[in-house]
């Protein structure tokens, strides 16, 4: 009977084989990809462009019935006073509070995503059993990144809504004043241009 030599292997794998088949490595790669995708996501609506307060366009009134210069001055003065009372705004007065441009969104976009991922990874590692701390950290990282990304999105939408409301509020009083002034001067026999 012929015996064949028996080849015994230790069953040890190379470090590259251990990493490629490790569940922690697979979950870690998935978590890293999710984190990078959440950080790279752009908001669905870009923040509105900041622009200076629109300059007031001058109003011109042309007499239709040959009113004298003195009468025109008096009509403009009385209509100005009436329009200011009606609209509760006086464009000729300096505002008591300063008008500031819209602030930049605070905090920076992506901040909550990064904080959520780091916090989730730390909590996941602490909660998991000692033998599965790496897997717990990866699961916590993914969940924390998702929660942080939703917080970032909600903050961006809230900031955009506030900026839109500020922009609407800036044009209102001047527009209303112009309409009131035009109505008054038209009623007194002027063409508004």
Residue 39 lies in a domain: no
Q: What percent of the chain has pLDDT over 70?
A: 60
Q: Is the pLDDT of residue 176 over 80?
A: yes
Instruction: For residues 117 and 76, give the distance between their C-alpha atoms in angstroms, rounded to a whole number.
Output: 64
Residue 156 lies in a domain: yes
Residue 127 lies in a domain: yes
Phi, psi of 117 (to 5 degrees): -65, -45
Residue 23 lies in a domain: no
Q: Kindly indicate the confidence band of residue 59, based on its pLDDT and cuts at 50, 70 and 90.
A: confident
Instruction: For residues 108 and 103, give the distance between their C-alpha atoms in angstroms, rounded to a whole number.
Output: 12
The count of structural domains within the chain is 1
Asked which of 2-6, 44-48, 66-70, 77-81 is least confident by mean pLDDT, the reply is 44-48
- pTM (2 decimals)? 0.41
What is the overall mean pLDDT for the chain?
76
Task: Judge contact between 172 and 53, C-beta under 8 A.
Answer: no
Residue 36 lies in a domain: no
Residue 45 lies in a domain: no
Residue 112 lies in a domain: yes
Instruction: For residues 129 and 42, give the distance between their C-alpha atoms in angstroms, rounded to a whole number.
Output: 37
Q: Is the pLDDT of residue 169 over 90?
A: no
The stretches of the chain forming alpha helices (DSSP H) are: 15-21, 23-40, 69-87, 111-127, 133-187
Range of the domain at 152: 108-193
Q: Kindly indicate the confidence band of residue 66, based on its pLDDT and cuts at 50, 70 and 90.
A: very high
Residue given tokens 């990078």 in the structure block:
36
Q: Is the pLDDT of residue 77 over 90?
A: yes
Rounded average pLDDT over 103-131: 81
Instruction: For residues 145 and 166, give the distance between their C-alpha atoms in angstroms, rounded to a whole number.
Output: 32
Q: What percent of the chain has pLDDT over 90?
A: 23
Q: Is the pLDDT of residue 46 over 90?
A: no
Phi, psi of 41 (to 5 degrees): -65, 135
Residue 139 lies in a domain: yes
Q: What pLDDT does 52 receive?
A: 46
**Residue 181 burial (CB count, 10 A):** 22
Q: What pLDDT does 183 receive?
A: 94
């Amino acid at each position: 009977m012929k015996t064949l030599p028996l080849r015994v292997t230790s069953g040890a794998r190379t470090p590259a084989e251990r990493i490629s088949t490790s569940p922690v490595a697979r979950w870690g790669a998935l978590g890293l990809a999710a984190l990078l995708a959440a950080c790279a996501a752009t908001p669905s609506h870009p923040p509105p462009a900041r622009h200076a307060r629109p300059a007031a366009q001058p109003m011109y009134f042309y007499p239709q019935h040959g009113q004298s210069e003195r009468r025109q001055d008096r009509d403009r003065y009385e209509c100005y006073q009436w329009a200011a009372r009606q609209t509760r705004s006086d464009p000729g007065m300096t505002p008591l509070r300063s008008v500031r441009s819209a602030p930049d969104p605070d905090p920076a976009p992506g901040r909550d995503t990064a904080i959520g991922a780091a916090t989730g990874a730390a909590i996941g590692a602490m909660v998991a059993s000692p033998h599965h701390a790496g897997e717990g950290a990866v699961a916590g990282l993914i969940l924390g990144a998702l929660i942080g990304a939703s917080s970032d999105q909600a903050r961006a939408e809230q900031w955009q809504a506030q900026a839109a409301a500020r922009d609407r509020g800036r044009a209102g009083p001047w527009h209303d004043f112009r309409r009131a002034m035009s109505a008054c001067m038209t009623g007194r026999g002027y063409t508004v241009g």
